[in-house]
Amino acid sequence: MPECALCIHHCKLNEGQRGRCLARVCRDGKVVSDNYGCVTSIALDPIEKKPLSDYYPGSRIISVGSFGCNLSCPFCQNHEISHPEELELLRRMSRIISPEELTAIAERYIPEGNIGVAFTYNEPLVGLEYVLDTAKHVHERGMKTVLVTAGLATEETCEALRGNIDAMNIDLKAFTDRFYEKLIGGNRKTVMRFIEKANEFSHVELSCLIIPGENDSDAEMDELSAWVASLPGGENITLHVSRFFPRYKMQDRGPTDVSRVYALAEVARKHLKHVHTGNC
């Protein structure tokens, strides 16, 4: 039975069966991307919206998303495309854009401040083949590539990004195994290894969404930011500490108190030089 090697779930699939992420399928005895070139969202965004605060600040970037995700976050802000209830309807409403065409679109917007292409909105790594193919064309035209990811991927997948991705925003969603394994179906140490490797070859910024009662303690933020600072050049890695709002399947609590976000940002600043707050 073919096995997907993209992430830690290692889905074993029968012919025609989709993986947990919904974006990969077994076809002709091989696990392949089923969302290749399928664009559900495209926009010219400020780079700060990724968020990347310290990578070409003030610039803009063509941002594209497809469908699928290998995590199951109950607070997902883009669940309509990450975990679509009607996948075939979403596919029919989507636009097929080849790597060459997307590169041409990006180039067309250079006069408006565009610096390249960002793969974002859903989890782009479940469509790794499209990311890599497009990145080559974007680089050939002298532009930059950005990846916004949760980092739940094998080291081989991360290594494939070397030389292809210039900057990443990686979600470090919490710093406890309980959060990753019980709440979102992931693995914290896998994400930590992804961050370590990405930091070797890419500009890296991190995001942490602060959810009341889940990952909002001073002790956890102190441990998280101290670990980031321990990486090579880690004290200069930018951390975005963001406010939670009720979304998707997590509407049993209110938004994070702004004061709590600010307080946790101060905790992180004990270890890191560049800490920003978001959604406040």
Q: Domain spans of the chain?
A: 36-278
Best CATH choice for the domain 36-278 from the list 3.30.460.10, 3.20.20.70, 3.90.950.10, 3.40.50.800:
3.20.20.70
Asked whether residue 1 carries a pLDDT value surpassing 90, the answer given is no
Give every CB contact of residue 124 below 8 A, 6+ residues apart in sequence.
65, 66, 131, 147, 148, 149
Q: At 80, give phi and psi (nearest 5°).
A: -60, -30
Q: Tell me the two tokens of residue 89.
A: 């309807």
What six digits make up the tokens of 1? 């039975």
Q: What is the pLDDT of residues 15-36, one digit of tens each?
A: 999 999 999 999 999 999 999 9
Q: How high does pLDDT run on average in the chain?
A: 97
> In the block, which residue shows the tokens 């780079």?
47
Which percentage of the chain shows pLDDT scores above 70?
100
Tokens of 12: 């074993």
Q: With left for phi above 0 and alpha for psi between -120 and 50, is residue 20 left, alpha or beta?
A: alpha
Structure tokens at 91: 């596919």
Cis peptide before 57 (omega within 30 of 0): no
pTM for the whole structure: 0.97
Look at residue 39 in the predicted model and tell me its pLDDT.
98
Q: Tokens standing for 102?
A: 């997307």
